[in-house]
Structure 1
Amino acid sequence: MNKTISINLGGFFFHIDEDAFSKLTRYLDAVKRSLSPEGREEIIKDIESRIAELFQEKIKNEKQVIGSKEVDDMIVIMGQPEDYKIDDEPKNSFNNSNYNYSNNGGTKKLYRDKDNSIIGGVLSGVSQYIGIDPIWLRIFMAILLVFFGTGFFIYIILWIIIPEAKTTTQKLEMRGMPINITNIEKKVKEGIDDITSKISDIDTEKMMYNARNSSQRVGSTIEDIFTTILKIIGKLLGGFIVLVTSVSLIGLLIGTIFMFFSSTLDHVHMPWNEYLRASNYTDFPMWILYIFSFFAAAIPIFFFFILGLKLLVNNVKSIGSYAKYSLLGLWILSIVFLVYFGLRQASEVSRESKVVEKREIILTPNDTLKINMKYNDFYTKSVYRKTDFKFVVDEKDKEIIYSNNVKIHLMKTDETKTYIQIEKVANGSSYNDAKERAKNIVYNFDIQGNIINLDNYLITDRNNKFRDQEVHIYIYIPKGTVIFPNETISDYLTNHNSDIDMYYGRENHYYKLIDGDFECLDCPEEIENNKWNSDEDNNVEIKINGQDIINSETEIKTINVDENGISIQTKNKK
Structure 2
Amino acid sequence: MKKTISINISGILFHIEEDGYAVLKKYLDAINKHFSHYEDNQEIISDIENRIAEIFLSNLKNNKQVITAENVDNLIEKMGTIADFKAMEEIEESNSDKTAEENVSEENDFYKYITPPGENGSKGYKKITRMERSKILGGVCAGFANYFSIDPLWTRLIAILLLFSGNLKFGSFNWMPWNASFSLSIGLFALVAYIVLWVILPVSYDNPEDKNVKKLYRNPDDRTLGGVASGIAAYFGIEVLWARLIFIALIFAGGSGLVIYLILWIITPSARSITERIQMKGGAITLDNIELTIQENLRPVDNKEESTARKLIMAPFRVLGMIINGIGTALGPIGNVLLAIIRVLFGLIIFLIGLAITIIPIAALALYFNIVPQEELFVWGSLHLPTTWITDIVTDWLAIAASLVILIPGLVLITLAISVWVKRSIIEARMGLITFGIWLLSIGVCAFQIPSVVNEFNTNVTHTTSEELNLNDRVLVIKTDTERGRAAFKEQISLEIKGVDVGSPTLIKEFRARGKNYNDAMLNAQSIPYEYSLTDSVLELSRAVDLSGINKFRVQELDLILELPYEQVFVMDKSILPIIRSTLTKNGYKIRDVNSDNHWVFNDDGLLCLTCRSEHKKSEADSLSRVKFSEAYFMKQ
TM-score, with normalisation over the residues of structure 2?
0.41
Q: Which has the larger radius of gyration?
A: 1
Q: TM-score, normalised by structure 1?
A: 0.45
